[in-house]
Amino acid sequence: MRGYATMIKVLFICHGNICRSPMAEFIFKSMANNLGVSDKFSVCSRATSDEEIWNGVGQPIYPKAKEQLLYHGIAIGDKKAIKLKRNDYYEADMFIGMDSANIRNMKILFGGDADYKIHKLLEFTESNSDVVDPWYSGDFDKAYNDIEMGCNALLSFLLFENS
């Protein structure tokens, strides 16, 4: 990560871009803002599938994910699901997947990861496990906690690496 002279563009990735990746996007933005370093990052989120994009229009953040963010005092705006595209590889500095399937799907879409831009969120913590998928588990508290822990570790990593 060394050598970024300007803003670091981070894309958080999950399957549908309605639960985990938008949660990560807004948690990370909130943390960066609270530390006064939001100007160092461009942050967004994307989906590896188009299941939550109907007739070209992305679905909004899943209500329980939105509730979880609002409960923690994190504003989200009018976020809608966006599909990851092959060209994104050349425009972003880091792709942060929520689980191993996201990592695999990104590598397939991008034809590999020659520049080592693809990472799993919890690899920046001591666990390196997958962020629990609340769409299936129903456990939005656990997903929030995993994402918060991962975003905190990622932000620390990026600030340390670029200091």
* Alpha-carbon span 42 to 2, nearest angstrom: 17
Confidence at residue 6, expressed as pLDDT on a 0 to 100 scale: 77
Which is more confident, 39 or 5?
39
pLDDT at 3: 47
For the entire predicted model, the pTM comes to: 0.94
Whether pLDDT at 1 is above 90: no
Active site positions, annotated: 14, 20, 133
pLDDT beyond 60 at 163: no
Residue 160: pLDDT band by 50, 70, 90 thresholds? confident
CB burial of residue 114 (10 Å; 0-12, 13-18, 19+)? exposed
Instruction: Give mean pLDDT, residues 63-90.
Output: 95
